[in-house]
Amino acid sequence: MNRIGALQGSTLLVLLVLCGAQLGPAWAKDPAADDITAIKYLGTVDCYWYPEAQSVLLDILLGDPREKVRYAAVRALTQQLQRGKPPLDPLLGWRAVPDPLIFAQVVRLGTLRTPLTTEELVERYSELKFQREQKKGLGRGDTCHGCCTQDAIAALSRVAFGKDETGCYFEPSERIRLAAERALSLCVYEVSVIPEAVPEEVPAVPPAPVPPGKKPPPQKPAPPETAPAEPTPVTELPAPPALLARGRRPSFGPRYMLNVGRADLSNRFNLFDNMGTAPATRVFFGFQYLQSQNNAVLVTDQHERLFSILATETGRRMFIEYTGFGSGQGTPGGGGDILVDPTDPASQTQLESLYLSHNTGGVTRTYTRMPNTNLYRFGFEYALTLDFSVAMQAQYVMPLDEVEQPEMFSNPLIQLKHVVYRGERSLLSAVFGISPQIPQPDFAITEKTTRLGPGVLGYYEVGERLFTQGGTGFSLPTQSQHIKTWDWALGMGLWVYQHESLKPTYEGPEPDAWVLGIVPQLQVRGKHVIGDNIVRGQFGLSAEPPKTAEGTLSPVDATRTIYLPQDPSTPVTEVPIFYNEPRHVVDMSFGTTILFRDNVQLMLGISFPLTGGQARATEFLMTVNRFF
């Protein structure tokens, strides 16, 4: 009676859920939303103990006119059939952090053994996920029958493969047909026949001794030995070849982001530079041409006021008197011992250069120019598992104009990427980067500090052709006097051409076409300074207040303090050249990704600033990726 009462109660519960969904408020924007909620609940019901839940879902799958409701029904049926069995999609859902297979791959690499293949990794992910689900108590003791009923198999087969006399599919939705095919794969399994028990061999009784004078009895020939028949596997549910579900291959959309990276004022990397959301094994090379790169190196306002008097002969004479530079007096090599003719208009630049060279550590105003620049980026990413990768990239900076900024390698980037969540159309990854400080030439436009870059990257397929992606994170120096920033990026892409071999359901031969996909993209990026945006002594520049030429003294107080000739009561205390990073830098990039066969990808783009604070005027971008 208790059993019957439970079944009746469950039936009443299912009916109440569905009726409540149908009788929802009239002002609801989407009447199907309540139905889908009820269907999702039915997917959690154990169809072995409550078969009426499955019957309701089958009726909806076969008879409801709304595509998204039927899709919810087939997914709920899959959830029912999945109970107590290894998962069809071990890569979907929230991922274990850290990935338990990272250590296994590292050990294999360290012992010079072949790493686990993708198929082996998926098999291990499946087993790990299955064990976790079993610990939650989601499995029954008997999973070999109960849910895969003949009605369920017949309905799913009709939805997945059924056609009418004209050749049209019974189910018009491709995603529902594919989902039904995958659900059917859960009902295909083999049960081995237990071989018949072989009777134990009875030991032979020795014959009785023959009395003397009598012949022994004739021996009966032993029956010929026959080998026992091999047990043959029996398929409980015969399945046609069509039931071998293709499934949905993991999406590689995150590879297609416009990830060539944006130039930085201090030639730093950020977490978006050539980094897709999905772990991958690849090598890449990038080239970027910058018009008027802004390195944010400026002459201070106080010194601009001091140098303003150099436009006249009287001003140049006062400058020589108050600073000692150009006087022909002082310590040899100290600047004051060089004699400058103030009547010569060209002496304006000479006096300024003498002053700056001695008070900055060795550079002049040429150092503050905004040159056209070439950036060369190259590196690799290696996916240890499907959820974890390690990447490294370097950057070579080549100023093209006559400037005192040297060519150099900027600080490299080492980045760890770990998938946190993976859905059918979405991906979320946590990243952590470190840019270690490396030796640099004098006055190289790159920071003399190590940086840390925690953040997240996300990807979402809006539809079959449209996707969006982005991320956010921080760039934190290990030395407190340097710039701290919050960075973000948001973009979208559209497949204007996609070869059929890139679709999840493709099972044909390797494509012979050269171009497999074209994806135009739009992306907006922002960087915002946290705290102070001024750094003195950056790039090896002097952080000390200016002094008169060595061996000379100020006429104001007979010290080496410099005073403004226009206002002898005002000492010059600011450093001549300093770093002043704009607080808000926002850029927009347009580009196109072209996918070639053999896993080659070419990205071309152009980027320009949207804000007054900018890293350059215009930037032309190009990156080539080769995936493995």
CA quadruple 316, 317, 321, 325: dihedral, nearest 10: 50
How many Cα neighbours within 13 Å face the side chain of 386? 23
Asked if residue 408 has pLDDT above 50, the reply is yes
Tokens of 120: 């082996």
Superfamily of 253-295+370-533+581-627 according to CATH:
monomeric porin ompg (2.40.160.40)
Whole-number pLDDT of residue 579: 95
Taking residues 216-243, report their average pLDDT: 43
> What distance in Å separates the CA atoms of residue 154 and residue 160, rounded to the nearest whole number?
10
Asked if residue 196 has pLDDT above 50, the reply is no
HEC profile for 269-325?
Answer: CCCCCCCCCCCCCEEEEEEEEEECCCCCEEECHHHHHHHHHHHCHHHHHHHHHHHCC
> What distance in Å separates the CA atoms of residue 61 and residue 55, rounded to the nearest whole number?
10
pLDDT for 354-384, tens place per residue?
999 999 999 999 999 999 999 999 999 999 9
Asked if residue 282 has pLDDT above 50, the reply is yes
Query: Length of the chain, please?
Result: 628
Where do the domains of the chain lie?
Answer: 1-83+147-192+231-247, 253-295+370-533+581-627, 297-368+539-579
pLDDT for 528-542, tens place per residue?
999 999 999 999 999
Taking residues 155-179, report their average pLDDT: 91
Q: What band does 145 get if pLDDT is binned at 50, 70 and 90?
A: low
Asked if residue 9 has pLDDT above 80, the reply is no
Whole-number pLDDT of residue 276: 86
32, exposed or middle or buried, with CB in 10 Å at 0-12, 13-18, 19+?
A: middle
Whole-number pLDDT of residue 218: 53
Whole-number pLDDT of residue 389: 95
Q: Are 309 and 575 in contact (CB under 8 A)?
A: no
- What would the DSSP string read from start to end of 319-365? HHHHH-TTBS-SSTTSSTTSB--TTSTTHHHHHHHHHHHHHHSS--G
Whole-number pLDDT of residue 213: 54
Q: Which residue has the higher pLDDT, 180 or 262?
A: 180
Whole-number pLDDT of residue 144: 53
Question: Which residue, chain included where needed, has tokens 């690799």?
Answer: 380
Angle (nearest 5°) at CA 582 between 485 and 444 = 80
Asked if residue 207 has pLDDT above 80, the reply is no
Taking residues 328-343, report their average pLDDT: 93
pLDDT for 10-35, tens place per residue?
444 444 444 444 444 444 467 788 88
Lowest-confidence region among 11-15, 105-109, 329-333: 11-15
Kind and range of the H or E run holding 597: none
pLDDT for 422-464, tens place per residue?
998 899 999 999 999 999 999 999 999 999 999 999 999 998 8
Taking residues 163-177, report their average pLDDT: 90
Average pLDDT value over all residues in the chain: 83
Percent of the chain past pLDDT 90, that is, above it, reads 63
Taking residues 612-621, report their average pLDDT: 92
- What would the DSSP string read from start to end of 79-146? HHHHTTS--S-TTSEEPPSS-TTHHHHHHHHHTTPPPPPHHHHHHHHHHHHHHHHHHTT---S--SSS
Whole-number pLDDT of residue 143: 54
The phi and psi torsions of 24 (rounded to 5 degrees) equal -65, 175
Whole-number pLDDT of residue 240: 36
pLDDT for 491-519, tens place per residue?
999 999 988 888 766 777 888 889 999 99
Name the β-bridge partners of 474. 486
Name the β-bridge partners of 289. 374, 620
> What distance in Å separates the CA atoms of residue 413 and residue 396, rounded to the nearest whole number?
12
Q: What band does 198 get if pLDDT is binned at 50, 70 and 90?
A: very low
Whole-number pLDDT of residue 2: 42
Q: What band does 82 get if pLDDT is binned at 50, 70 and 90?
A: confident
